[in-house]
Structure 1
Amino acid sequence: MTEQPTAPLTPVLSRTWDSDRSWSLEAYKAKDGYRGLHAALAMSPDEVIALVKDSGLRGRGGAGFPTGMKWGFIPQNDGKPHYLVVNADESEPGTCKDIPLMMAAPHQLVEGVIIAAYAIRASTAFIYVRGEVVHVYRRLLAAVREAYDAGYLGRNVLGSGVDVDIVVHAGAGAYICGEETALLDSLEGYRGQPRLRPPFPAIAGLYSAPTVINNVESISTVPVVVLNGADWFKSMGTEKSAGMTLYSLSGHVERPGQYEAPLGVTLRQLLEMSGGVRAGHELKFWTPGGSSTPLLTAEHLDVPLDYEGVGAAGSMLGTKALQVFDETTCVLRCVLRWTEFYAHESCGKCTPCREGTYWLVQSLRKLEAGEGAEEDLARLLDLCDNILGRSFCALGDGATSPITSSLKYFRDEYVAHFTSGGCPFDPVASTVFAGALAR
């Protein structure tokens, strides 16, 4: 392995996290809080959109779609109300960046919401928070109240003539509501299920009006982009993946947590910063963007963690949820747990996902119990092929990713389960198998 210098951390979104009562308006303003809003209000809405476009800011929710371009899709002078919706329904297994951000610096999000609403000419914005995280919901409500009291929200924001209201909405706790159109249905009071597109939300979104839907981190990045400029933002990251981002490092590492670094940093560099894989063990596999992204292995330690680099390696950057697993982990058992989650969270709207994820679980359970055979692996891949690209939304596609990638890199481990009669990583089962073989 070649040694590489450790990439510098870039505390931008996390710059206030170590402040006393970092969630308060006072702490946020002490570190340039709401200066970006003042700068934005001195510009026209179109100038703000152009600036965000020029910065190269891409959506931090998974797809990496250019944020400014998404804002530019909203039709103007159409006589309809416009809405901004922030997707704070962080549900992807392994993903844990938005909740810490909202807990430690809720005003970073609130300021971004006001600027984005001004840019797309929306007078009402919604923050859709996962219902289980009541502590985050309460903290956001408190930050919104502070912003109203300070004149940053409500009618005639800072004397600009602009009106912006924020509604913090607690969802009912469904993974499918992380899909943007299912989120809109849930926000309208319906069962959260994906909508058929077109029409896209930019034309007919919330209440059939033009709507922009952005992730928490995407919107939280907007104030620093407006305050410091596009060139400053592009000075970090890579040519096509500009800026800094929050990498969520979890699993078998010495110091798991949030690491804010430029896009393009490698897992090797992040492991150097976090103390490495836990003592006495070595990396086996990892996810670059949560459980719905294809697995990578130790051979991918030096892959640049940007949208292009991870894509070229056969996976997706997604939410930058870096789950690290060492050699003690049974990859089949891990994949089974993820697949059980997707089967449970399927909304049931489409047959490939509703039926396909059920049968994926049955096949994986059979294999994990040591009751499978070689033809079960072929059947498993055939099931994945019938789900991939055929489900109504990306949930079905995501459910297949850990299965197909784990079979690509760890097929021998799958085979070992049915040749040894059970999981070779289970110490109790291994002893039983050894005794049975001896008899």
Structure 2
Amino acid sequence: MSIYRGHILVCSGTGCVSSGTNKVVDGFKSNLDSNNLENEFLVVETGCHGFCEMGPVAIVYPEGTFYTRVTPEDTEKIVNEHLLKGRIVKELLYSPPQSETKIPSYKEIDFYKKQLRIALRNCGYINPEDIHEYIGKGGYEALGKVLNDMTPQQAVEEMKKSGLRGRGGGGFPTGLKWEFASKSESDKKYIICNADEGDPGAFMDRSILEGDPHSLIEGMIIAGYAIGADEGYVYVRAEYPLAIRRLRTAINQAEEFGLLGDDLLGSGFSFKLQIKEGAGAFVCGEETALMASIEGKRGMPRPRPPFPAVRGLWDKPSNINNVETFANVPVIYEKGADWFASIGTEKSKGTKVFALTGKINNTGLAEVPMGISLREIIYDIGGGVTDNKKFKAVQIGGPSGGCIPEELLDLPVDYDSLIDAGAMMGSGGLVVMDESTCMVDLAKFFLNFTQSESCGKCTPCREGTKRMLEILERITEGEGKEGDIELLEEVGESIKLTSLCGLGQTAPNPILSTLQYFRHEYEAHIKDKRCPAGACSSLTTYKIKPELCKACTLCKKVCPVSAITGEVKKLHEIDPEVCIKCGACVEKCKFNAIYKG
């Protein structure tokens, strides 16, 4: 085995791949080769390091120098300056927003300071396609401990003691779910991983599959031993080709090492694992619909009880958790349930991974202890709102979640606090909105998604979401009327109470939460025929401020429909009947003379 003087870790998750990581990797290898350094420095393609806004990311070890937005052209400079001459390439280091400070190590960057990585512990640090690197970080030691030192019942009790709750949305206690399945008597049981991840903007599970697939495999094997299952399925959407490829590679490697298959580690316990690719239906994130899809049926929920722990896949007892939940499992048995339970809050133990998207400076993945405030996540880790605009709200929990306003930014992030505020943890999507976001339009966006993804099996969800969407469309088109707000609330509450599955029951959450905190925006749309954020085109007109207009004709030249009249040094005007409200004039005006009225 070669001993290298240093390593270059290059983020090769989907986000960085889309930004050109593959060419960056080729650039490093080519420049190392041309300088006869290929035997001194190893280029390692890792999973997502989390700081997606700054990708592609490359970290040079042993120094730990953190290079951001690396291009193929930059690789020559890094090799020639840093690796050959020992001089850090300062212009490629991270600089915080509104600062010229260059930070050489990721450990000093605010984005990472308040994070505690458990589920993401290996993402960005190991080659996910090399089982040796996972084992080198302590991988599969927890499995050996469980198989050799614990009975299945002891394994269940340890999980209950940890306080881990499902990270897929509902937050049901993992140990209790395992116990239900373990007590079901059957000749066959299944462990299922829900890697469907259909929420818009969510990519937590994908990043774990791409960056540390063996942690999922080890967690599923331990769960199988605990409940008495000898077979498992990973249900992952086909839109995740890189995740599927790396997971398949990891499964093959685990089988070659005797960590999957018959008589694992001489314990007498056998476990096999296979992948089921889903077609991308959002409803298949619901566990009973997911199982129907694995069975080759149309993915539609069924009534519960019986619950999957009693009658699940092919009518056999089954346990379903998501990727992040399983990724926590090995660490719990390695470090102990007491250690894990010491993190977080009384009822929400451990950490949670969030996908930071929207109008936030530091987009990416962040794993934080439960109980941290939304303000800390958005401002300390996320770097605040883009373009120095005013924070308005944060949508947490995806289409099933709710909007949290500025006055609740100090709310602790845990399961119960979020539910009390009208939102939910969900899978971990966190979308930040600024003052330019119309909350009525936002509610319409999420409801349009859930309505189009409804399986149509139950009337409340199928018809109720359709009627609510029609009302929201009328309101944003300037045709709202008295009583629409009360009707939205009435229909929304009815859907929550009567829908068949959890997806239908939570579909009205974005509407109900925006009505709770931003009712005045709905009223402005209905009563004043005005969109306060200027986002709804039917309720928006563009006007020119006479005192600021310099009559330079730039706006007139850029208007695609000739809606602006006026000559040089003569006041310009916008014809509202002709204007298509494209906003081109606003962007072109150098004097901020054009505004939305």
Do Structure 1 and Structure 2 share a fold, with TM-score over 0.5?
yes
Greater Cα shift, 64-73 or 126-135:
126-135
Aligned-partner Cα distance in 2 for 1:330–1:224: 42
The alignment status of 1:150 with 2:257, answered yes or no, reads yes
Q: Give the aligned partner of residue 46 of structure 1.
A: 153
Q: Give the aligned partner of residue 275 of structure 1.
A: 383
The alignment status of 1:8 with 2:118, answered yes or no, reads no
Structure 1 unaligned residues grouped into runs of 5+: 1-5
2:318 corresponds, among 204, 208, 211, to 211
SS of 1:291's partner is helix
SS of 2:303's partner is coil
Contact 1:176 1:346 (C-alpha < 8 Å) held by counterparts: yes
Change (3 A) 1:427 1:369: closer
State the one-letter code of the partner of 1:249. Answer: L
Change (3 A) 1:402 1:433: farther
Aligned-partner Cα distance in 1 for 2:176–2:302: 22
Counterparts of 1:20-99 in structure 2 under 5 Å?
A: 20-42=126-148, 43-76=150-183, 78-99=185-206
The CA deviation string for residues 3-47 of structure 1, in whole angstroms up to 9 with x for no partner, is xxx973212222222225244312212211111111111211111
The number of residues matched between the two structures is 432
Structure 2 unaligned residues grouped into runs of 5+: 1-111, 545-574, 578-597
Q: Give the aligned partner of residue 122 of structure 1.
A: 229
The alignment status of 1:368 with 2:470, answered yes or no, reads no
State the one-letter code of the partner of 1:24. Answer: D
State the 1:320 CA deviation.
Answer: 2.5
Aligned-partner Cα distance in 2 for 1:299–1:87: 35
State the 1:52 CA deviation.
Answer: 0.5
Contact 1:80 1:210 (C-alpha < 8 Å) held by counterparts: no
Aligned-partner Cα distance in 2 for 1:321–1:206: 28
Aligned-partner Cα distance in 1 for 2:138–2:182: 32
SS of 2:388's partner is coil
Q: Give the aligned partner of residue 326 of structure 1.
A: 434
Q: Give the aligned partner of residue 416 of structure 1.
A: 524
Aligned-partner Cα distance in 2 for 1:122–1:348: 33
Aligned-partner Cα distance in 2 for 1:136–1:436: 50
Higher Cα radius of gyration: 2
Aligned-partner Cα distance in 1 for 2:153–2:174: 14
The CA deviation string for residues 134-154 of structure 1, in whole angstroms up to 9 with x for no partner, is 221222111111111111001
State the one-letter code of the partner of 1:309. Answer: S
Greater Cα shift, 105-114 or 78-87:
78-87
Change (3 A) 1:309 1:162: same
State the 1:420 CA deviation.
Answer: 4.8
Contact 1:371 1:422 (C-alpha < 8 Å) held by counterparts: no
SS of 1:202's partner is coil
In angstroms, what is the RMSD of aligned CA positions?
2.0
Greater Cα shift, 359-368 or 279-288:
279-288
Q: Give the aligned partner of residue 35 of structure 2.
A: none
Q: Give the aligned partner of residue 307 of structure 1.
A: 415
Aligned-partner Cα distance in 1 for 2:129–2:476: 45
Q: Give the aligned partner of residue 541 of structure 2.
A: 431
Aligned-partner Cα distance in 1 for 2:494–2:320: 30
Contact 2:152 2:225 (C-alpha < 8 Å) held by counterparts: yes
State the 1:92 CA deviation.
Answer: 1.9
SS of 1:323's partner is strand
2:216 corresponds, among 87, 109, 128, to 109
Contact 1:389 1:397 (C-alpha < 8 Å) held by counterparts: yes
Aligned-partner Cα distance in 1 for 2:438–2:496: 24
Contact 2:190 2:231 (C-alpha < 8 Å) held by counterparts: yes
| Identity within the alignment, % | 42
2:395 corresponds, among 287, 302, 311, to 287
The alignment status of 1:235 with 2:342, answered yes or no, reads yes
TM-score (norm 2): 0.70
The CA deviation string for residues 251-284 of structure 1, in whole angstroms up to 9 with x for no partner, is 1111011111111111111121221111311211
Aligned-partner Cα distance in 2 for 1:197–1:310: 25
Aligned-partner Cα distance in 2 for 1:427–1:410: 16
State the 1:311 CA deviation.
Answer: 2.6
State the 1:312 CA deviation.
Answer: 3.1
Higher RCO by CA contacts (8 Å cutoff, separation 6 or greater): 1
TM-score (norm 1): 0.94
State the one-letter code of the partner of 2:153. Answer: D
State the one-letter code of the partner of 1:299. Answer: E
State the 1:418 CA deviation.
Answer: 3.5
Greater Cα shift, 306-315 or 191-200:
306-315
Contact 1:56 1:242 (C-alpha < 8 Å) held by counterparts: yes
